[in-house]
A and B are shown apart, each in its own frame.
Chain A
Amino acid sequence: MSLKSIFKPLGLIIATLSLTANTAFVQASDDLVIYSSRTVNLIQPLIDGFKKQHNINVKLMTGKDEALIERLKMEGRNSPADVLMTVDAGNLGLAAEKGLFQPLNLGPTEVVVPAHLQDSNGLWTGLSLRARTIIYNPKLVDVKSLTTYEDLANPMWKGKLCLRTSKKVYNKSLAASFVAHFGEQKTLEIFKGWVSNLATKPFAKDSEVIKAVNSGQCAVGIVNTYYVYRNQSKNPQSVAKLFWANQETTGTHINISGAGITKYANNKENAKLFLAYLLSNEAQKIFADLNHEFSIAQLVSKTATLPFKADNLPITKLHTEQFKGVKLMQIAGYE
């Protein structure tokens, strides 16, 4: 019987692989463990800065929001994670709702986060701001005709609008803010109007919307601003311009990237140190420079350096109203 002879070499191979395999579950207990949905290149400089200041070792695991949240939930009290960092208030709200965070109690920090940009129960805090607004092609659009997100549902924009997929969390949060501001009925009408105004079916990425506006495939679009800044530094000849939406009314929609300390964190004190570091002036500057985002510091400083009027809706609404918003987009046929 030849099975036996298979088992011997197999055993050997497994033994060798076991020895060489990179199994990382053995970890020193005072390492700070971060689960993050911000990709490595957007978070590493912050971790480096923190390490330099506090000499604490950091372990990072990046992943998709829903996967990290599900994992935390499954791991329960055994979880190695100390901090969950994610983008979008909806994701933070979801993690809080599932009982994955503990109260932060950070104490005084260098940069003070305004009440509407953190959890009402003190379970998570915003760390940086991203604005989602209108982008237009000046060759095709008179800037005076632009006003609000809602107005893009007006038939005058027929065949001129480009959008990103409704599956992207940025649009889901934008939808949530509509529900909070305008109610479900009007929100549905806005989405129906948008869909009938589309120049082409929604794109997979913001960067494609920018390209399409640049090339004239569409006249207007809705994107996160840092994509535009990034695009401009790469292609200085691009014509697409930002327009700050809803300045006369609700203010331009903003979202946050943020973090909370996990309920079963092993290193609560280090986690607090880390969040406090992220709210220092040094880290806030890294946030802003790294990804062309806006820092919380920019919002709260007296010499108001935000170039637009931001929506001051309590950011928790982006979570509580998101589900309704998503369903409305789907009903309207916004893919």
Chain B
Amino acid sequence: MNYSFLSSPKVKKIGIWGLIALGVLPQLPLIISWFLGIDSNWNHIAEHLLPKLLINTLSLVLLVVLGAGLIGTLLAYIMSHYRFPGHRWLNWALLLPLAIPAYVMAFVFLGWLDYSGLIQTQLRAWGVNMTWDARQGYTSLVIVLSLMFFPYVYGVLKPNFERTYPEMDIQAAALGAGPWRRFWRIQFPLAFPSLFLGMMLVMMETLADYGTVSIFNTPTLTTAIVSAWQDFYSLKLAMQLASLILLVAWTLFMVDHWVKVSRPRVLNKWQKITPTTLKGYQAWSIFVLVFTIFSISFLLPFIQLLYWAIISDQSFTDSKYWSLTINTLGLGLGAMVVILSVAVTFELLKRDLQAGRWIQRFSQLTLMGYALPGNVIAIGVLGILIGLEHQFGLTSGWLSQSIWVLILVLSLRFFILGQGPVSNGLRQISPQMIQSAKSLGASPLRLSTKIYLPLLKPGLIASSGLIFLEVMKELPATYMLRPFDWSALSIYTYELSLEGNYEGAALPALLLVLLGILALWVSQRRRR
């Protein structure tokens, strides 16, 4: 087939705006909802619910970003600057909390810490009366969410901390700055944009979280969206509430933009730092610290799930677990392929067109899906597709009830996870390199296989792992949009836990976690 028409700038321009339009699709219903009039329940909500919702949401976002930021930064510093026993495997094991779905983590934690939980029950049996209410206030909720989300900060920050800038270091040392001061004044500020990216991911995850806050029964904007729909039967109201989340996300992106332009450009002259090898008691105390965080955030919950799965009435040999696993795997791979190929196409187009301000600004909008709860995106896209079916007289479900729609929606939700690494990767490929390759007569195919792919590969592999993880954990959109008689591990976990059957839910949850470990292992293998 002849693809030469693709080279025309006009086609490329249409292509890029087409992709942007697709990317902002889920936000349209949110904006349109305001043109349908103010919902009649706004007064009631503003008077009785909104103040608390806003306070809860903002406090959680701030506290979690603080908690996850501190843990993530600390670990990134330790893992980049020191070597100690266990460093090799902890290096990637610290990403494992990402493999545990939020709602699973929440019920495991309450299973231990709540009044009727393991620890307090045992203490009472020993005559110790503890009156701590684990669900009250923000403390345990913030702990759970921070432990779940710190790997985002850790993951993006560590590569930056592994760099040192010899020229500056030498000058600073000459001026009498010690190693600690040099870190704070040189490495840290230069890594700040990455830290901010990590924190932004954490903030957006927290904003979109429904599973954890609903298990703690702490009302937030996300739970309010669901209850606007369930309690007030008003999709309009739900969309209007969701647009508040969108507003917060927009603000975050503007701050991110400001952070990027107001910081000095990262200098090219960096070297990999030489880590200090710790010995004796220092080595062991660092190991204990890191291992403790790893245990609380992954190992212990994992063991708990394992235990529940063993005592439950669910059996691993049941054939339905095969199909659930295959479906989950297929969905993850599908979304991964779509996100990464669209991200590469998108970024290449932007680069070819030397995209101006407008394209840059608008392309940022395609990343907002990450802050929106899955059901908001799902219902928006569903409405549009069913509308199209009506328009073209198609059988219902032809568009709206296929695995493709689900993949589309999940891709819209998690596009940021592909776009980031791809655009970072492309930045390393200088246009001159491409020009000289072309002038030497390299064919497009050769350009891709010899230059683009190898240079993009590390980023692509790392982000494919993350995308896979997020997609397989996702629940609301998957639950709403899946085809008939089609289920996945996340759905089955949810359906079993719905009736409080946590032991039963542990088996599919455990399979989810195992798939997640696999995905992380594959994506991290090259980096080790």
Show the binding face of A for B, using Cβ within 8 Å: 1-8, 10, 13, 17-18, 20-25, 27, 33, 39-41, 59-67, 70-71, 74-76, 78-80, 94, 165, 167, 169, 172, 200-208, 211-212, 214-215, 217, 227, 230, 323, 326-327, 330-331, 333, 335
Contact = CB atoms under 8 A, between A and B. Distances in A.
Contact of B345 (A6, A27, A217): A6
Contacts of B219: 335
B337 A13 contact: yes
A79 B382 CA distance: 13
Contacts of A172: 231
B485 A60 contact: yes
Contact of A167 (B223, B349, B390, B449): B223
A194 to B, nearest CB: 15
B480 A59 contact: no
Nearest to B443: A5
B81 interface: no
28 contacts: A1-B7, A3-B3, A3-B12, A3-B352, A6-B344, A6-B345, A7-B3, A10-B341, A13-B341, A17-B334, A21-B334, A24-B486, A25-B483, A62-B495, A70-B379, A75-B396, A78-B386, A79-B396, A80-B397, A201-B217, A204-B216, A206-B500, A208-B110, A215-B116, A215-B124, A227-B500, A323-B231, A323-B232
Contacts of B485: 24, 59-61
Contact of B6 (A7, A13, A327, A333): A7
Nearest to B342: A10
Contacts of A169: 230
Interface of B: 3-4, 6-7, 12, 44, 48-49, 110, 114-116, 121, 124, 133, 135-136, 214-217, 219, 223, 226-227, 229-233, 235, 327, 330, 334, 337, 341, 344-345, 348-349, 352, 375, 379, 382-383, 386-387, 389-390, 394-398, 400-404, 444-445, 447-449, 452, 479-480, 483-487, 495-496, 498-500
A39 B495 contact: yes
Nearest to A79: B396
Contacts of B116: 208, 211-212, 214-215, 217
B115 A204 contact: no
Nearest to A218: B115
Contacts, number: 182
Contacts of A39: 495, 498-499
Contacts of A22: 327, 330, 403, 483, 486
Given A2-B447, A167-B223, A215 B404 contact: no
The 3 closest A-B pairs by CB, nearest first: A207-B500, A78-B396, A215-B116
Contacts of B133: 200-201
A80 B399 CA distance: 13
A25 B260 CA distance: 47
Contacts of A59: 484-485
Nearest to B497: A205
Contacts of B496: 41
A204 B445 contact: no
Nearest to A211: B116
Given A2-B348, A40-B495, A94-B233, A61 B484 contact: yes
Contacts of A71: 382, 480
B402 A23 contact: yes
A274 B480 CA distance: 24
A59 B116 CA distance: 41
Given A41-B495, A201-B136, A25 B389 contact: no
A39 B495 CA distance: 6
Contact of A165 (B49, B217, B403, B486): B217
A6 B460 CA distance: 14
A7 B5 CA distance: 13
Contacts of A8: 3
Contacts of B345: 3, 6
Contacts of B390: 76, 78
B49 A330 contact: yes
B121 A21 contact: no
A61 to B, nearest CB: 5
Interface residues of A, dominant DSSP = helix
A75 B404 CA distance: 18
Nearest to B492: A40
B161 to A, nearest CB: 33
B217 A23 contact: no
A55 to B, nearest CB: 18
Nearest to B320: A40
A6 B229 contact: no
Contact of A23 (B44, B387, B403): B403
A66 B229 CA distance: 7
A229 to B, nearest CB: 12
A212 B115 contact: yes
Contact of B217 (A7, A62, A211, A335): A335
A330 B401 CA distance: 36
Given A4-B3, A39-B499, A40-B487, 10 more contacts: A4-B6, A21-B404, A23-B403, A59-B485, A66-B230, A70-B379, A78-B395, A201-B135, A206-B500, A326-B231
Contacts of A203: 135, 217
Contacts of B334: 17, 21
A2 B12 CA distance: 13
B396 A80 contact: yes
A18 B7 CA distance: 27
Contacts of B395: 25, 78, 80
A206 B124 CA distance: 23
Contacts of B404: 18, 21, 23
B3 to A, nearest CB: 4
Contacts of A20: 330
A324 to B, nearest CB: 11
A200 B136 contact: yes
B188 to A, nearest CB: 37
A64 B478 CA distance: 12
A1 B483 contact: no
Contacts of B114: 208
B341 A24 contact: no
B220 to A, nearest CB: 11
A63 B398 CA distance: 19
A276 to B, nearest CB: 23
Nearest to B486: A22
B347 to A, nearest CB: 11
Nearest to B480: A67
Contacts of A60: 484-485
Contact of B484 (A13, A33, A202): A33
A205 B444 CA distance: 58
A335 B53 CA distance: 11
B47 to A, nearest CB: 8
A25 B232 CA distance: 32
A79 B386 CA distance: 10
Nearest to A33: B484
A80 B390 CA distance: 13
B489 to A, nearest CB: 14
Contact of A4 (B223, B352, B444): B444
Instruction: Give the residue among A4, A13, A203, A326 with the most B Cβ atoms within 10 A.
Output: A4
A67 B375 contact: yes
Contact of B235 (A70, A94, A167, A200): A70
B109 to A, nearest CB: 13
A6 B346 CA distance: 11
A21 to B, nearest CB: 5
A74 B115 contact: no
